[in-house]
Copies of this chain bind each other. A is one copy, B any other.
Amino acid sequence: MTPIGLDPVRYFDSDPAIRRIASELYAGVKELPILSPHGHTDPAWFAENEPFPDPAKLLIIPDHYIFRMLYSQGVSLEKLGINSLDGKFGEPDPEKVWGLFAENYYLFAGTPVANWFDHVLHEIFDIPEALNAKSGNSIYTAIDQALKTPEFLPRNILDRFKIEVIATTDDATHSLAHHQVIRDSDWKGRVIPTFRPDAVTNLAHSDWAQNIHVLGELVGYELTSFPKYISALEQRRAYFKSMGATATDHGVTSPYTNRLSRESANDMYQSALSGKLNPGDDHSFSAHMLMEMARMSTEDGLVMQIHPGVFRNHNSQVFHQYGTDKGADIPIQTEYTHNLYALLNEFGNDTRFNLIIFTLDETNYSRELAPLAGHYPALKLGPAWWFNDSIEGMTRFRQMTTETASIYNTVGFNDDTRALLSIPARHDLSRRVDSNYLAGLVATHRIEIATAREMSQALAYDLAKSAYNL
Protein backbone atom coordinates (compact mmCIF):
# COMPACT_ATOMS: atom_id res chain seq x y z
CA MET A 1 0.00 0.00 0.00
CA THR A 2 1.21 3.48 -0.88
CA PRO A 3 0.18 5.81 1.94
CA ILE A 4 -1.56 9.01 0.93
CA GLY A 5 0.87 11.91 1.11
CA LEU A 6 -0.91 14.37 3.32
CA ASP A 7 1.79 15.86 5.45
CA PRO A 8 0.58 18.31 8.11
CA VAL A 9 2.89 20.99 6.70
CA ARG A 10 1.93 20.34 3.10
CA TYR A 11 1.94 23.26 0.67
CA PHE A 12 4.05 25.41 2.99
CA ASP A 13 7.41 26.62 1.73
CA SER A 14 10.20 24.17 2.39
CA ASP A 15 12.33 26.92 3.90
CA PRO A 16 12.16 26.11 7.65
CA ALA A 17 11.68 29.75 8.67
CA ILE A 18 8.64 30.20 6.46
CA ARG A 19 7.26 26.76 7.21
CA ARG A 20 7.33 27.32 10.94
CA ILE A 21 5.49 30.64 10.69
CA ALA A 22 3.03 29.29 8.14
CA SER A 23 2.24 26.37 10.44
CA GLU A 24 1.58 28.73 13.29
CA LEU A 25 -0.66 31.02 11.24
CA TYR A 26 -2.52 28.09 9.75
CA ALA A 27 -3.12 26.60 13.20
CA GLY A 28 -4.88 29.83 14.11
CA VAL A 29 -7.39 29.64 11.24
CA LYS A 30 -7.64 25.93 10.44
CA GLU A 31 -10.71 25.42 12.61
CA LEU A 32 -12.54 28.65 11.85
CA PRO A 33 -16.04 28.17 10.46
CA ILE A 34 -16.33 28.19 6.68
CA LEU A 35 -18.10 30.95 4.81
CA SER A 36 -19.00 29.93 1.28
CA PRO A 37 -20.50 33.06 -0.27
CA HIS A 38 -20.20 31.99 -3.90
CA GLY A 39 -20.75 28.45 -5.16
CA HIS A 40 -22.88 26.12 -7.21
CA THR A 41 -24.11 23.38 -4.94
CA ASP A 42 -27.66 22.16 -5.46
CA PRO A 43 -30.12 23.48 -2.84
CA ALA A 44 -32.20 20.33 -3.37
CA TRP A 45 -29.51 18.39 -1.49
CA PHE A 46 -30.12 20.40 1.67
CA ALA A 47 -33.87 20.55 1.18
CA GLU A 48 -34.28 16.81 0.67
CA ASN A 49 -31.30 15.63 2.71
CA GLU A 50 -31.14 12.29 0.91
CA PRO A 51 -27.96 10.19 0.87
CA PHE A 52 -25.68 10.83 -2.06
CA PRO A 53 -25.54 8.09 -4.69
CA ASP A 54 -22.40 6.17 -5.48
CA PRO A 55 -18.82 7.59 -5.46
CA ALA A 56 -18.70 8.10 -9.23
CA LYS A 57 -21.97 10.02 -9.37
CA LEU A 58 -20.93 12.13 -6.43
CA LEU A 59 -17.27 12.77 -7.17
CA ILE A 60 -16.46 12.16 -10.84
CA ILE A 61 -19.39 12.48 -13.25
CA PRO A 62 -20.48 16.00 -12.27
CA ASP A 63 -16.97 17.41 -11.91
CA HIS A 64 -15.70 19.09 -15.07
CA TYR A 65 -12.32 19.74 -13.44
CA ILE A 66 -11.84 16.00 -13.40
CA PHE A 67 -13.30 14.78 -16.65
CA ARG A 68 -11.82 17.59 -18.77
CA MET A 69 -8.34 16.34 -17.94
CA LEU A 70 -9.17 12.73 -18.72
CA TYR A 71 -10.89 13.82 -21.94
CA SER A 72 -7.80 15.81 -22.94
CA GLN A 73 -5.84 12.58 -22.69
CA GLY A 74 -8.15 10.71 -24.99
CA VAL A 75 -10.66 9.12 -22.59
CA SER A 76 -14.17 9.47 -24.02
CA LEU A 77 -16.84 11.29 -22.03
CA GLU A 78 -19.07 8.26 -22.49
CA LYS A 79 -16.63 6.04 -20.63
CA LEU A 80 -16.55 8.65 -17.87
CA GLY A 81 -20.25 8.11 -17.33
CA ILE A 82 -21.40 11.31 -19.00
CA ASN A 83 -24.52 10.70 -20.95
CA SER A 84 -25.17 12.46 -24.23
CA LEU A 85 -28.12 14.80 -24.49
CA ASP A 86 -30.12 12.18 -26.35
CA GLY A 87 -29.45 9.75 -23.53
CA LYS A 88 -28.14 7.06 -25.82
CA PHE A 89 -25.38 5.89 -23.51
CA GLY A 90 -27.76 4.88 -20.72
CA GLU A 91 -26.82 4.50 -17.08
CA PRO A 92 -23.08 4.43 -16.41
CA ASP A 93 -21.48 1.68 -14.40
CA PRO A 94 -20.11 3.67 -11.46
CA GLU A 95 -17.40 1.18 -10.58
CA LYS A 96 -16.04 1.21 -14.12
CA VAL A 97 -16.06 5.02 -14.17
CA TRP A 98 -14.28 5.08 -10.86
CA GLY A 99 -11.75 2.52 -12.05
CA LEU A 100 -10.93 4.60 -15.10
CA PHE A 101 -10.44 7.63 -12.93
CA ALA A 102 -8.22 5.71 -10.49
CA GLU A 103 -6.02 4.42 -13.34
CA ASN A 104 -5.54 7.93 -14.64
CA TYR A 105 -5.24 9.69 -11.32
CA TYR A 106 -1.50 10.20 -11.91
CA LEU A 107 -2.45 12.84 -14.50
CA PHE A 108 -3.47 15.17 -11.69
CA ALA A 109 -0.06 15.19 -10.01
CA GLY A 110 0.78 18.81 -9.26
CA THR A 111 -2.77 20.04 -9.92
CA PRO A 112 -5.34 21.39 -7.45
CA VAL A 113 -7.66 18.49 -8.23
CA ALA A 114 -5.15 16.19 -6.53
CA ASN A 115 -4.83 18.59 -3.59
CA TRP A 116 -8.59 18.61 -3.11
CA PHE A 117 -9.23 14.98 -3.89
CA ASP A 118 -6.57 13.69 -1.54
CA HIS A 119 -8.05 15.89 1.16
CA VAL A 120 -11.50 14.45 0.49
CA LEU A 121 -10.19 10.89 0.59
CA HIS A 122 -8.09 11.28 3.67
CA GLU A 123 -9.75 13.94 5.80
CA ILE A 124 -13.36 13.25 4.92
CA PHE A 125 -13.43 9.52 4.20
CA ASP A 126 -10.48 8.62 6.40
CA ILE A 127 -8.78 6.63 3.67
CA PRO A 128 -5.09 6.04 4.46
CA GLU A 129 -4.09 4.87 0.99
CA ALA A 130 -3.11 6.77 -2.15
CA LEU A 131 -5.52 6.41 -5.05
CA ASN A 132 -4.20 4.48 -8.03
CA ALA A 133 -5.15 1.65 -10.35
CA LYS A 134 -4.46 -0.90 -7.62
CA SER A 135 -6.26 0.78 -4.74
CA GLY A 136 -9.20 2.03 -6.82
CA ASN A 137 -11.63 -0.77 -6.05
CA SER A 138 -11.19 -0.90 -2.33
CA ILE A 139 -11.40 2.87 -2.06
CA TYR A 140 -14.61 2.80 -4.09
CA THR A 141 -16.11 0.34 -1.65
CA ALA A 142 -15.04 2.33 1.38
CA ILE A 143 -16.57 5.54 0.04
CA ASP A 144 -19.69 3.78 -1.11
CA GLN A 145 -20.28 2.43 2.37
CA ALA A 146 -19.59 5.76 4.02
CA LEU A 147 -22.10 7.51 1.78
CA LYS A 148 -24.83 5.27 3.18
CA THR A 149 -24.23 6.47 6.73
CA PRO A 150 -26.07 9.46 8.27
CA GLU A 151 -22.76 11.24 8.69
CA PHE A 152 -22.75 11.83 4.94
CA LEU A 153 -26.23 13.24 4.58
CA PRO A 154 -25.93 16.69 3.00
CA ARG A 155 -27.03 18.68 6.06
CA ASN A 156 -24.67 16.73 8.27
CA ILE A 157 -21.82 17.53 5.96
CA LEU A 158 -22.46 21.25 6.34
CA ASP A 159 -22.68 20.89 10.10
CA ARG A 160 -19.66 18.62 10.43
CA PHE A 161 -17.41 20.96 8.45
CA LYS A 162 -18.72 24.08 10.15
CA ILE A 163 -19.99 25.59 6.92
CA GLU A 164 -21.67 28.56 8.57
CA VAL A 165 -23.20 29.97 5.38
CA ILE A 166 -23.39 28.52 1.92
CA ALA A 167 -24.70 30.48 -1.05
CA THR A 168 -26.13 28.77 -4.10
CA THR A 169 -26.45 30.41 -7.51
CA ASP A 170 -29.97 30.69 -8.85
CA ASP A 171 -31.61 31.93 -12.00
CA ALA A 172 -33.71 35.06 -11.70
CA THR A 173 -36.71 32.95 -12.63
CA HIS A 174 -36.09 30.25 -10.06
CA SER A 175 -38.85 29.68 -7.52
CA LEU A 176 -36.34 29.03 -4.72
CA ALA A 177 -38.65 26.27 -3.58
CA HIS A 178 -35.78 24.28 -2.12
CA HIS A 179 -34.61 27.28 -0.17
CA GLN A 180 -38.14 27.64 1.17
CA VAL A 181 -38.13 24.02 2.32
CA ILE A 182 -34.84 24.58 4.10
CA ARG A 183 -36.13 27.73 5.78
CA ASP A 184 -39.30 25.91 6.85
CA SER A 185 -37.33 23.03 8.35
CA ASP A 186 -36.00 22.93 11.88
CA TRP A 187 -32.44 22.53 10.62
CA LYS A 188 -30.31 25.50 11.58
CA GLY A 189 -28.04 25.49 8.51
CA ARG A 190 -27.86 28.70 6.49
CA VAL A 191 -28.24 28.07 2.76
CA ILE A 192 -28.88 31.26 0.86
CA PRO A 193 -29.61 31.98 -2.81
CA THR A 194 -27.68 34.30 -5.12
CA PHE A 195 -29.49 36.26 -7.81
CA ARG A 196 -28.02 35.33 -11.20
CA PRO A 197 -30.00 37.04 -13.97
CA ASP A 198 -27.79 36.14 -16.98
CA ALA A 199 -30.49 34.09 -18.66
CA VAL A 200 -32.82 37.10 -18.70
CA THR A 201 -30.25 39.87 -19.29
CA ASN A 202 -28.29 38.22 -22.10
CA LEU A 203 -30.35 38.89 -25.23
CA ALA A 204 -28.33 36.28 -27.11
CA HIS A 205 -29.23 33.49 -24.67
CA SER A 206 -30.96 30.78 -26.65
CA ASP A 207 -33.95 30.73 -24.27
CA TRP A 208 -34.12 34.44 -23.58
CA ALA A 209 -37.67 35.06 -24.85
CA GLN A 210 -38.94 32.01 -23.01
CA ASN A 211 -37.20 33.15 -19.84
CA ILE A 212 -38.78 36.59 -20.12
CA HIS A 213 -42.13 34.92 -20.41
CA VAL A 214 -41.50 32.94 -17.23
CA LEU A 215 -40.25 36.04 -15.49
CA GLY A 216 -43.49 37.83 -16.42
CA GLU A 217 -45.56 34.98 -15.03
CA LEU A 218 -43.65 35.09 -11.77
CA VAL A 219 -44.32 38.78 -11.23
CA GLY A 220 -47.85 38.55 -12.56
CA TYR A 221 -47.73 40.90 -15.54
CA GLU A 222 -46.54 40.70 -19.11
CA LEU A 223 -43.09 42.26 -19.65
CA THR A 224 -44.10 44.17 -22.76
CA SER A 225 -41.73 47.08 -22.22
CA PHE A 226 -38.28 47.71 -20.86
CA PRO A 227 -39.59 49.53 -17.76
CA LYS A 228 -41.81 46.58 -16.92
CA TYR A 229 -38.84 44.25 -17.40
CA ILE A 230 -36.75 46.39 -15.07
CA SER A 231 -39.42 46.45 -12.47
CA ALA A 232 -39.81 42.68 -12.69
CA LEU A 233 -36.11 42.31 -12.02
CA GLU A 234 -36.39 44.63 -9.03
CA GLN A 235 -39.20 42.49 -7.69
CA ARG A 236 -37.23 39.30 -8.14
CA ARG A 237 -34.25 40.82 -6.37
CA ALA A 238 -36.50 41.77 -3.49
CA TYR A 239 -37.82 38.22 -3.39
CA PHE A 240 -34.31 36.75 -3.40
CA LYS A 241 -33.36 39.14 -0.64
CA SER A 242 -36.37 38.06 1.40
CA MET A 243 -35.13 34.48 0.95
CA GLY A 244 -31.74 35.35 2.42
CA ALA A 245 -29.77 36.45 -0.63
CA THR A 246 -27.07 39.02 0.04
CA ALA A 247 -25.58 39.11 -3.45
CA THR A 248 -26.09 38.98 -7.19
CA ASP A 249 -23.79 37.46 -9.78
CA HIS A 250 -23.25 38.37 -13.41
CA GLY A 251 -21.52 36.13 -15.90
CA VAL A 252 -20.79 38.34 -18.89
CA THR A 253 -18.42 37.81 -21.77
CA SER A 254 -16.97 41.29 -21.33
CA PRO A 255 -17.20 43.57 -18.29
CA TYR A 256 -18.21 46.39 -20.64
CA THR A 257 -20.50 48.89 -18.94
CA ASN A 258 -22.29 51.74 -20.63
CA ARG A 259 -25.56 53.55 -20.12
CA LEU A 260 -28.07 53.52 -22.97
CA SER A 261 -30.87 56.01 -23.32
CA ARG A 262 -34.21 54.65 -22.12
CA GLU A 263 -35.37 54.66 -25.72
CA SER A 264 -32.42 52.67 -27.02
CA ALA A 265 -32.72 50.17 -24.21
CA ASN A 266 -36.39 49.76 -24.88
CA ASP A 267 -35.85 49.44 -28.63
CA MET A 268 -33.29 46.68 -28.17
CA TYR A 269 -35.57 44.95 -25.69
CA GLN A 270 -38.52 45.13 -28.07
CA SER A 271 -36.47 43.91 -31.03
CA ALA A 272 -35.22 40.97 -29.02
CA LEU A 273 -38.76 40.21 -27.81
CA SER A 274 -39.97 40.13 -31.39
CA GLY A 275 -37.13 37.75 -32.21
CA LYS A 276 -35.13 40.23 -34.26
CA LEU A 277 -31.94 40.77 -32.31
CA ASN A 278 -29.65 43.22 -34.13
CA PRO A 279 -25.94 42.38 -34.23
CA GLY A 280 -24.15 43.96 -31.29
CA ASP A 281 -27.35 44.63 -29.36
CA ASP A 282 -26.62 41.89 -26.85
CA HIS A 283 -23.24 43.50 -26.14
CA SER A 284 -24.76 46.98 -25.66
CA PHE A 285 -27.70 45.68 -23.68
CA SER A 286 -25.44 43.70 -21.36
CA ALA A 287 -23.40 46.86 -20.74
CA HIS A 288 -26.54 48.75 -19.86
CA MET A 289 -27.93 46.01 -17.66
CA LEU A 290 -24.75 46.02 -15.58
CA MET A 291 -25.45 49.72 -14.98
CA GLU A 292 -29.03 48.93 -14.00
CA MET A 293 -27.94 46.13 -11.71
CA ALA A 294 -25.44 48.43 -10.04
CA ARG A 295 -28.15 51.03 -9.58
CA MET A 296 -30.43 48.43 -7.99
CA SER A 297 -27.59 47.32 -5.73
CA THR A 298 -27.19 50.83 -4.39
CA GLU A 299 -30.88 50.70 -3.55
CA ASP A 300 -31.43 47.20 -2.20
CA GLY A 301 -27.95 46.60 -0.82
CA LEU A 302 -27.29 43.32 -2.65
CA VAL A 303 -23.57 42.90 -3.29
CA MET A 304 -22.80 42.80 -7.04
CA GLN A 305 -20.38 40.20 -8.41
CA ILE A 306 -19.08 40.23 -12.00
CA HIS A 307 -17.50 37.07 -13.44
CA PRO A 308 -16.42 37.99 -16.96
CA GLY A 309 -14.09 36.74 -19.63
CA VAL A 310 -15.05 33.18 -20.56
CA PHE A 311 -15.73 31.74 -24.00
CA ARG A 312 -18.35 29.20 -22.98
CA ASN A 313 -18.73 25.85 -24.74
CA HIS A 314 -15.72 26.40 -26.97
CA ASN A 315 -15.95 22.81 -28.25
CA SER A 316 -19.15 22.84 -30.27
CA GLN A 317 -19.03 19.11 -30.95
CA VAL A 318 -18.96 18.32 -27.24
CA PHE A 319 -21.56 21.04 -26.61
CA HIS A 320 -24.01 19.65 -29.14
CA GLN A 321 -23.59 16.10 -27.97
CA TYR A 322 -23.27 16.61 -24.21
CA GLY A 323 -24.45 20.14 -23.39
CA THR A 324 -22.94 22.85 -21.20
CA ASP A 325 -20.32 22.59 -18.46
CA LYS A 326 -18.29 19.87 -20.11
CA GLY A 327 -14.88 21.39 -19.44
CA ALA A 328 -14.73 23.41 -22.66
CA ASP A 329 -15.11 26.89 -21.20
CA ILE A 330 -11.96 28.81 -22.12
CA PRO A 331 -10.79 32.18 -20.78
CA ILE A 332 -10.27 35.16 -23.05
CA GLN A 333 -8.32 38.39 -22.78
CA THR A 334 -10.27 40.84 -20.68
CA GLU A 335 -10.06 44.59 -20.17
CA TYR A 336 -11.30 46.43 -17.09
CA THR A 337 -10.00 50.01 -17.02
CA HIS A 338 -12.10 51.21 -19.94
CA ASN A 339 -14.89 48.68 -19.59
CA LEU A 340 -15.73 49.51 -15.99
CA TYR A 341 -15.37 53.24 -16.53
CA ALA A 342 -19.07 54.04 -16.90
CA LEU A 343 -20.12 51.89 -13.97
CA LEU A 344 -17.41 53.10 -11.59
CA ASN A 345 -17.95 56.70 -12.55
CA GLU A 346 -21.61 56.46 -11.74
CA PHE A 347 -21.49 54.22 -8.69
CA GLY A 348 -17.87 53.69 -7.66
CA ASN A 349 -17.89 56.42 -5.03
CA ASP A 350 -21.22 55.36 -3.56
CA THR A 351 -20.62 53.87 -0.15
CA ARG A 352 -23.89 51.93 -0.34
CA PHE A 353 -22.53 50.01 -3.30
CA ASN A 354 -20.40 46.87 -3.07
CA LEU A 355 -18.90 45.52 -6.26
CA ILE A 356 -16.73 42.41 -6.42
CA ILE A 357 -14.78 41.82 -9.62
CA PHE A 358 -13.26 38.53 -10.75
CA THR A 359 -10.90 37.71 -13.56
CA LEU A 360 -9.48 34.71 -15.39
CA ASP A 361 -6.99 36.99 -17.10
CA GLU A 362 -4.21 37.32 -14.54
CA THR A 363 -2.54 40.10 -16.50
CA ASN A 364 -5.12 42.37 -14.92
CA TYR A 365 -4.12 41.69 -11.31
CA SER A 366 -1.32 44.21 -11.14
CA ARG A 367 -2.14 46.29 -14.19
CA GLU A 368 -5.80 47.18 -13.82
CA LEU A 369 -7.60 45.50 -10.95
CA ALA A 370 -5.33 46.27 -7.99
CA PRO A 371 -5.02 49.93 -9.03
CA LEU A 372 -8.82 50.19 -9.41
CA ALA A 373 -9.54 48.44 -6.10
CA GLY A 374 -6.90 50.56 -4.38
CA HIS A 375 -8.87 53.65 -5.30
CA TYR A 376 -12.65 53.14 -5.66
CA PRO A 377 -14.49 52.74 -2.36
CA ALA A 378 -17.15 50.50 -3.90
CA LEU A 379 -14.79 48.02 -5.51
CA LYS A 380 -13.18 44.90 -4.09
CA LEU A 381 -11.39 42.01 -5.76
CA GLY A 382 -12.76 38.50 -5.78
CA PRO A 383 -10.24 35.72 -5.12
CA ALA A 384 -8.22 33.84 -7.75
CA TRP A 385 -10.94 32.24 -9.82
CA TRP A 386 -11.49 28.85 -11.45
CA PHE A 387 -8.29 27.79 -13.25
CA ASN A 388 -6.39 30.12 -10.92
CA ASP A 389 -7.87 28.58 -7.76
CA SER A 390 -4.68 26.63 -7.13
CA ILE A 391 -1.52 26.90 -5.06
CA GLU A 392 0.44 28.82 -7.69
CA GLY A 393 -2.63 30.72 -8.87
CA MET A 394 -3.63 31.95 -5.41
CA THR A 395 -0.03 32.82 -4.61
CA ARG A 396 0.26 34.91 -7.78
CA PHE A 397 -3.01 36.65 -6.91
CA ARG A 398 -1.63 37.76 -3.53
CA GLN A 399 1.79 38.68 -4.93
CA MET A 400 0.28 40.78 -7.70
CA THR A 401 -2.53 42.52 -5.83
CA THR A 402 -1.46 43.06 -2.21
CA GLU A 403 1.21 45.69 -2.81
CA THR A 404 -1.20 48.00 -4.65
CA ALA A 405 -4.63 47.10 -3.27
CA SER A 406 -3.75 45.59 0.15
CA ILE A 407 -5.50 42.45 1.32
CA TYR A 408 -8.24 44.69 2.69
CA ASN A 409 -9.58 45.41 -0.78
CA THR A 410 -10.02 41.69 -1.39
CA VAL A 411 -12.90 39.55 -0.17
CA GLY A 412 -11.47 36.33 1.25
CA PHE A 413 -12.04 32.99 -0.38
CA ASN A 414 -14.78 31.65 -2.67
CA ASP A 415 -14.89 27.91 -3.33
CA ASP A 416 -17.09 28.39 -6.41
CA THR A 417 -17.83 24.70 -6.60
CA ARG A 418 -20.65 22.27 -7.24
CA ALA A 419 -18.61 19.53 -5.55
CA LEU A 420 -19.92 19.65 -2.00
CA LEU A 421 -17.23 17.52 -0.45
CA SER A 422 -14.50 19.61 -1.96
CA ILE A 423 -15.66 22.68 -0.03
CA PRO A 424 -13.70 21.94 3.15
CA ALA A 425 -10.77 20.81 0.97
CA ARG A 426 -10.77 24.03 -1.01
CA HIS A 427 -11.04 26.27 2.03
CA ASP A 428 -8.28 24.32 3.69
CA LEU A 429 -6.05 24.78 0.65
CA SER A 430 -6.81 28.48 0.54
CA ARG A 431 -6.02 28.86 4.24
CA ARG A 432 -2.76 27.03 3.73
CA VAL A 433 -1.75 29.17 0.76
CA ASP A 434 -2.63 32.42 2.50
CA SER A 435 -0.82 31.31 5.66
CA ASN A 436 2.22 30.54 3.56
CA TYR A 437 2.02 33.87 1.75
CA LEU A 438 1.81 35.78 5.02
CA ALA A 439 4.58 33.65 6.50
CA GLY A 440 6.79 34.71 3.61
CA LEU A 441 6.10 38.35 4.45
CA VAL A 442 6.96 37.74 8.09
CA ALA A 443 10.10 35.73 7.35
CA THR A 444 11.39 38.50 5.10
CA HIS A 445 10.54 41.14 7.72
CA ARG A 446 7.90 42.84 5.65
CA ILE A 447 5.26 42.46 8.34
CA GLU A 448 5.28 41.53 12.02
CA ILE A 449 3.91 38.20 13.19
CA ALA A 450 1.15 39.96 15.16
CA THR A 451 0.05 41.74 12.01
CA ALA A 452 0.15 38.48 10.11
CA ARG A 453 -2.18 36.89 12.64
CA GLU A 454 -4.75 39.62 12.10
CA MET A 455 -4.41 39.40 8.33
CA SER A 456 -4.73 35.64 8.49
CA GLN A 457 -8.00 35.86 10.38
CA ALA A 458 -9.24 38.48 7.90
CA LEU A 459 -8.41 36.32 4.89
CA ALA A 460 -9.92 33.16 6.36
CA TYR A 461 -13.14 34.61 7.70
CA ASP A 462 -13.65 38.33 8.37
CA LEU A 463 -13.24 39.72 4.86
CA ALA A 464 -15.83 37.35 3.39
CA LYS A 465 -18.21 38.08 6.21
CA SER A 466 -18.13 41.82 5.69
CA ALA A 467 -17.77 41.90 1.89
CA TYR A 468 -20.84 39.72 1.41
CA ASN A 469 -22.82 41.21 4.30
CA LEU A 470 -23.15 37.79 5.91
Instruction: Decide if A12 is an interface residue (CB 8 Å cutoff).
Output: yes
Residues of A in contact, count (CB < 8 Å): 95
- Contacting B at CB under 8 A, from A91-133, are 106-112, 114-115, 130
Q: B446 touching A110 by the CB < 8 A rule?
A: yes
Please measure, in the bound complex, the distance between the C-alpha atom of A443 and the C-alpha atom of B13, giving whole angstroms. Answer: 8
Please measure, in the bound complex, the distance between the C-alpha atom of A109 and the C-alpha atom of B351, giving whole angstroms. Answer: 24
Please measure, in the bound complex, the distance between the C-alpha atom of A95 and the C-alpha atom of B337, giving whole angstroms. Answer: 36
Bitwise, A371-382 to B at CB < 8 A (1) or not (0) is 111111101000
Instruction: Decide if A404 is an interface residue (CB 8 Å cutoff).
Output: yes
The segment out of A168-176, A384-392, A414-422 that lies at the interface is: A384-392
Q: B367 touching A406 by the CB < 8 A rule?
A: no
Q: A14 touching B443 by the CB < 8 A rule?
A: yes
Copies of this chain, complex-wide, total: 3
A9 — which chain B residues lie within 8 A by C-beta?
Answer: 445
- Contacting B at CB under 8 A, from A1-53, are 2, 5-7, 9-15, 17-18
Please measure, in the bound complex, the distance between the C-alpha atom of A10 and the C-alpha atom of B366, giving whole angstroms. Answer: 23
A445 — which chain B residues lie within 8 A by C-beta?
Answer: 5-7, 9-11
Bitwise, A300-319 to B at CB < 8 A (1) or not (0) is 00000000000100111110
Please measure, in the bound complex, the distance between the C-alpha atom of A333 and the C-alpha atom of B407, giving whole angstroms. Answer: 24
Q: A110 touching B402 by the CB < 8 A rule?
A: yes
Selected contact of A444 from candidates B12, B73, B409, CB within 8 Å: B12
Instruction: Decide if A85 is an interface residue (CB 8 Å cutoff).
Output: no
Instruction: Decide if A349 is an interface residue (CB 8 Å cutoff).
Output: yes
Instruction: Decide if A335 is an interface residue (CB 8 Å cutoff).
Output: yes
A17 — which chain B residues lie within 8 A by C-beta?
Answer: 14
A448 — which chain B residues lie within 8 A by C-beta?
Answer: 2, 5, 130
Selected contact of A109 from candidates B71, B349, B406, CB within 8 Å: B406
Instruction: Decide if A255 is an interface residue (CB 8 Å cutoff).
Output: no
Instruction: Decide if A72 is an interface residue (CB 8 Å cutoff).
Output: yes
Chain B nearest CB, measured from A28 CB (Å): 16
- Contacting B at CB under 8 A, from A323-373, are 327-333, 335, 337-338, 341, 344-345, 348-349, 351, 360-363, 366-368, 370-373
From known contacts A315-B348, A376-B315, infer whether A109 and B447 are also in contact, taking CB-CB under 8 Å.
yes
Q: A72 touching B360 by the CB < 8 A rule?
A: no
From known contacts A316-B345, A445-B9, infer whether A368 and B332 are also in contact, taking CB-CB under 8 Å.
yes
Please measure, in the bound complex, the distance between the C-alpha atom of A69 and the C-alpha atom of B447, giving whole angstroms. Answer: 18
Please measure, in the bound complex, the distance between the C-alpha atom of A10 and the C-alpha atom of B391, giving whole angstroms. Answer: 25
Please measure, in the bound complex, the distance between the C-alpha atom of A118 and the C-alpha atom of B331, giving whole angstroms. Answer: 41
User: Whose C-beta in chain B lies nearest to the C-beta of A451?
Assistant: B109
Interface, chain A (partner B; CB < 8 A) = 2, 5-7, 9-15, 17-18, 68-69, 71-74, 106-112, 114-115, 130, 311, 314-318, 327-333, 335, 337-338, 341, 344-345, 348-349, 351, 360-363, 366-368, 370-377, 379, 387-388, 390-393, 399-400, 402-409, 440-441, 443-448, 450-451, 454-455
| 13 extra interface residue pairs, beta carbon distance < 8 Å, beyond A72-B374, A316-B345, A327-B375 | A2-B448, A10-B445, A71-B375, A71-B377, A72-B376, A72-B377, A107-B408, A109-B407, A314-B344, A315-B375, A317-B349, A330-B375, A390-B403
- Can you sample 20 A-B contacts with CB below 8 Å? A5-B447, A10-B444, A11-B446, A71-B375, A72-B374, A73-B408, A106-B454, A107-B406, A110-B447, A311-B341, A315-B375, A317-B349, A318-B349, A331-B371, A332-B337, A332-B368, A390-B403, A391-B403, A391-B444, A391-B446
